[in-house]
A = this chain, B = another copy of it.
Amino acid sequence: MPERRPRKDAARNREAVLAAADALFVRCESPEDVTMADIAAAAGVGKGTLFRAFGDRAGLLRALYEARLEPIRQAVEVGPPPLGPATPPRDRVPALLDAVLCFKLDNRRLALALEEGGSSSPYRAEHYGRWHSLLRAVLEQVPGLTDSDFTAHALLAATRADLVEHLAGEERIPRERMRSQLANFVTSVLASGPPQGLTAEE
């Protein structure tokens, strides 16, 4: 099956919708007061178009999220340390979580809209699955650390969009402070367990 590519206008409209949605989410107070009709209007497009292109609200949000996430995904999969695969586990774990935190700080409303969007739990999203299994795998390589699966969940939970929003918005905690607090937290989780040998173990 040749998988014929979409028509030109379809592609153009798809981009217009993504751009419009992004802009609206940045400007809005809360994600739920940007409606599908709003997005369609802002993109100069009919509602039908928007639903045909993305299926439903969640689909649109996902598409936006994935697009924004792409650079980080690259950096994690094939980039240089401290995010890339060549990093020693004890350094990579904090780096990964810091990246997630920064991403959510930079895309607060969007992340909020997607994670707490209602209907299905954020834990079913495949992007969560990716972060979790990656983190889990890296944690597994940290000597003396058990329960990597749960630990990965728990660490990621510390970067939940609504928590980040609360800390940044309500408690007015500055970005750098939040990053360092998360780093400390992660470190303390990693630090426990058997003596994490200094430099020379034998």
Give the segment of A11-19, A66-74, A83-91, A186-194 that binds chain B.
Answer: A186-194
Interface of A: prevailing SS: helix
Contacts of A150 in B (CB 8 A): 167, 178, 181-182, 185
Contact A146 B184 (CB under 8 A): yes
State the CA gap A121–B121 with chains docked (Å): 15
Copies of this protein, total: 2
B118 touches A32 (CB 8 A): yes
Near B by CB (< 8 A), chain A positions 123-152 give 123-124, 146-147, 149-151
The listed residue (B116, B123, B192) touching A188 by CB distance below 8 A is B192
Cα–Cα, bound, A122→B184 (Å): 25
Asked whether A193 lies within 8 Å of B182 as measured between CB atoms, the reply is no
Once the chains bind, are B188 and A167 in contact (CB under 8 Å)? Answer: no
Please measure, in the bound complex, the distance between the C-alpha atom of A74 and the C-alpha atom of B10, giving whole angstroms: 60
Residues of B within 8 A of A22 (CB): none
CB closest chain-B residue, reference A122: B162
Point out the residues of chain B lying under 8 angstroms from A185, CB to CB.
147, 150-151, 154, 189
- A119 interface contact, C-beta 8 A: yes
A175 sits at the interface (CB 8 A)? no
**CA distance in complex: A121, B161 (Å):** 10
Residues on A lying within 8 angstroms of B by beta carbon are 32, 116, 118-119, 121-124, 146-147, 149-151, 153-154, 157-158, 160, 162-163, 165-167, 170-171, 178, 181-182, 184-185, 187-189, 191-193
